[in-house]
Structure 1
C-alpha cells in the first residue's frame, strides 16, 4: 500500500488500549498527554462505564519544554487524594509525544512504587506511529498487562491461562471439552477475573495458551518470570490446523488421552460437515465479504469458505503488505484484497448490497444490508468456533439491521 492520505472508516472500532487495560480488575489508568489526545478516549470511557477508573493529566507547553517526570508523580498523588481510595494496579500511559521528550519512565515507576508500595504500577506507551514496527501498541499492551503478574508459587495448579483473547472464550466450546478430557481443572481468562487477586493466580498455571500472536511477547516474558511455558495457538478456521493444535495441546498436557481426543475430533468434524451443508443450502450463491476488524485471521476463514463452495467476494485489511504470502494465496483463489484505508474502496465495492459482510468495516465499505457484527473472533475457537460462525452467517440473511445504529452502539475505539 503506497504512503498517502488514509481514510478512517466510521465503523473502525473495537478493543483499544484503554479497554484492554480495563480488563485488569481493580485497576486505574492515567493518561499523560496533550488535551486533544484525550477527547475521544474520555467520551468512550463514559460510554463503556470506565469514567471512574480513567484519568487524564493534560500537558501544556511548559511541560513539553521542561519535561514532566515529577508532574506524573504529582498527578498520581492528586488522583489518589481526590478519589480517597486506592486501586490495586495503576497503569500510567505516555503518548507518542513522549518519544520526543524522553521521560525516564523506569525512574518514575520506581519512585511511585516506593511511595505507594501497596499499588502495582506499570508504564504503558500509546503510540500509533509504532503500528508498523516489531512492537506495535497491541503487542506492548499485552506484554504490560502480563507483567503485572508477580504470583509465582513453587507448586503449580492444574490450570491453564488463555492469553491474547479480546473476548471471553465460551465454556460450551470444544476447547473446554478438550481441556476437560485432558484433566485440566480450571481455565483462567482475564475477562472472568473478578478481583486482582484472581488475576494474580494466573501465575500458578501450568501452561499459557496464546490465542493471538500479539500476546506472544508477553507470554515469553511470563515464561521467564513465572516459569510458565506457552503454546502459540491463534484462532484458525482450517479444520486440519485445529486438529493439529488439539493434538499438540494433548502432547503438552496429557498424552495418555490422545485416543479420546481423536474420537472427540472425529465427532466434531461430522457436526461441522452438517453445518457446512445446511449453511450452503441457506445462503446459496450469496456473496461474502470479510475484514480484519472482525477476524484475527480473515484469510483463514476466506479460504475455508471458498474451499467449501461459498462465494467469497473480497477481504478487507487495515494494512496491505504485498510481500505477505497471504496475498498470493488469496489471489490464487481469485479472492480480491482491499484496504479499508483507501478512499477509492468505498465506491469500488458498493455494488452488491445483498452480500453478507463479516465485520462492520466491510459492511460499511460495501453497503451490505446483511452483516455479522463481531470483533476479533468474539471468543470463537476450534470446530465449535467455525460452527458458530456459520450460524452467524445463516442468521445474517434473515435480518436487515440498521448499520449506523449498530456502529453507534459498538462504541468508539478506546
Structure 2
C-alpha cells in the first residue's frame, strides 16, 4: 500500500511532558538532526582562547570540513593548519610517521613559530592504535621551544568517559606549572567567556582586594602562564569541572566548583564557599571570622534577592502571560531557569533539551510534581527537522535553539551562560528577556553564525 510522503508527523519520541519523562534521558537515541542554530562553541573556538598558539588537525578530508570552516568563519585561518590522512596511510600502517612529518612540515613553513601547538588527533588514531607517546616525544625533541598540547577530535568517545570538549578544557591548562603563587589572585578555569564584571564572584573578589584571572582575557603567552599562579582555582561551566579538578590536583591547589544557578539558596551556599576560601587565604591577617562571614553573607544575599525580586516584578509587568520557551544552549541549567520563572508566575510552556544534567535532578523532580504538563522537546531527534516550527501567538524564546524550533523572532540571543553568574546573572537574564520581548530580531541571520561572541565573516 502506498503511503503519502510529507503527511503529519507523529511527535512521539521527540516531544514529551516532564511528568512522563525519564531521567536523565527523556528521548530514545537514534538518527540525529543538527539544527541551523550554531551559536554554541566547538573545540576550534575554545582552542583559539590560548594566546600565541595555533591548532593543527590530523585527520581525513571529511572530518576536516567542519573545523576548517569554523576557523575561516571566525577569521582565524592563519592560526589553523591541517594534515590530511589518506587511505594508503591506513593500509601502510604509518600513521605515526604521517602525523610527525605532517606537523613538522607545517611548523617549518611558518615564518614565526608559535608558543604552543594544539595538536588534534582523531578517531583513526584510536582505531589503528597509533603510538601517540612516540608522536609527541619526537615532535617535542624536534621543536623543544614549542609546547605541544594533547587534544582530541574523537566523537566516537562522545558518550563514553570525558568528551572531546572536556578533554580540551583540561589540556589547555596542562602547560601551566606550579611555580610561585601570586597572593590575592584567583584563576577561573575552563570558561569560554570572561565572567561579567558585575557578577557576584567578581564583585566579592574585588571587595576583598583579589584579582580574577581568566583565559579569555589573556592577550599573550606571559599572561596565560600567570593563570597557574592563582591561590586557588574556580570553575563555573560544567564541562570545565573535569579539567579544573585535575589542574588543582596537579598544582596542589584548592578547587571550587561554583556552577551558575537560578536557585537563591544554592547561590548563597556557593558564595559561602568562596568567602570561606578567601578567609583561609587571609588567616594570617585575621580579616574575617566565621561569624563575620555569615553576617556579611546574609546582608549581601538579602540585598541581592530584593533586587532580583524587583527585577522579576518589572519583567513580569512587561511580559505578562506571554508563552515562554527556552533551551539548554542558553544556560547549562535550563530546568533551573524554567523552575525559577514558573515559581515567579511566568508562563513557561516548553524546554528544549536532549538530556538532563545530574545537577538538575532536584529541580527535575520538583517540576515533575508541580508542573507535570511542562513540555520537553528534543533538539537532535530526527523528527524535529519536520515538526511544525511556527506559532500563531507571540512567543518569547530564551536561547537560539528555542528561537529556531518555535519560529519566534522575539528571543534572547546568548549561549552557555554568556559570562553571567549568581544573583546578578538572574537579573541580567530578566533584563535580556524584557529586551527580547520588546525588540524583534531576525533569527535566520543571527543563529547561523558559529560561536556566539566570536568574530564572524558572515
Q: TM-score by structure 2 length?
A: 0.85
1:341 maps to which residue? Answer: 380
1:330 maps to which residue? Answer: 367
The question of whether the paired residues in 2 share the 8 Å contact of 1:352 and 1:368 is answered with no
More deviation in 379-388 or 162-171? 162-171
- 1:233 and 1:300 map into 2 onto residues whose CA distance is 15
Q: 1:90 aligns with which of 85, 98, 117?
A: 117
Shift of residue 173 of structure 1?
Answer: 2.5
Q: Deviations over 1:158-211 (max 9, x none)?
A: 211112322111113232111123332x10111001111111111110111111
Q: Deviations over 1:210-260 (max 9, x none)?
A: 112322221222122212210111111112211111111111112445133
The question of whether the paired residues in 1 share the 8 Å contact of 2:41 and 2:450 is answered with no
The question of whether the paired residues in 1 share the 8 Å contact of 2:41 and 2:451 is answered with no
> What secondary structure does 1:376 align onto?
coil
Q: 2:198 aligns with which of 172, 183, 186?
A: 172
Pair 1:352–1:190, CA change in 2 (3 A)? farther
> What secondary structure does 1:64 align onto?
helix
- 2:54 and 2:85 map into 1 onto residues whose CA distance is 19
- 2:82 and 2:415 map into 1 onto residues whose CA distance is 27
1:401 maps to which residue? Answer: 441
- 2:408 and 2:263 map into 1 onto residues whose CA distance is 26
> What secondary structure does 2:99 align onto?
helix
1:57-206 matched pairs, under 5 angstroms: 57-65=83-91, 66-150=93-177, 152-184=178-210, 186-206=211-231
Shift of residue 35 of structure 1?
Answer: 0.9
In the alignment, structure 1 residue 233 sits paired with structure 2 residue 258? yes
The question of whether the paired residues in 1 share the 8 Å contact of 2:166 and 2:242 is answered with yes
Pair 1:323–1:238, CA change in 2 (3 A)? closer
Q: 1:265 aligns with which of 272, 290, 301?
A: 301
1:268-283 matched pairs, under 5 angstroms: 268-283=304-319
In the alignment, structure 1 residue 250 sits paired with structure 2 residue 275? yes
- 1:155 and 1:11 map into 2 onto residues whose CA distance is 42
More deviation in 316-325 or 398-407? 316-325
> What secondary structure does 1:83 align onto?
coil
1:377 maps to which residue? Answer: 417
Pair 1:201–1:283, CA change in 2 (3 A)? same
Pair 1:58–1:372, CA change in 2 (3 A)? same
Shift of residue 378 of structure 1?
Answer: 0.5
In the alignment, structure 1 residue 210 sits paired with structure 2 residue 247? no
Shift of residue 342 of structure 1?
Answer: 2.0
- 1:100 and 1:329 map into 2 onto residues whose CA distance is 44
Q: Deviations over 1:279-302 (max 9, x none)?
A: 000100011111111111111111
User: Higher relative CO (CA 8 A, sep ≥ 6), structure 1 or 2?
Assistant: 2
Pair 1:353–1:61, CA change in 2 (3 A)? farther
The question of whether the paired residues in 2 share the 8 Å contact of 1:143 and 1:218 is answered with yes
More deviation in 381-390 or 62-71? 62-71
- Give aligned pairs, total: 412
The question of whether the paired residues in 1 share the 8 Å contact of 2:58 and 2:99 is answered with yes
In the alignment, structure 1 residue 30 sits paired with structure 2 residue 56? yes
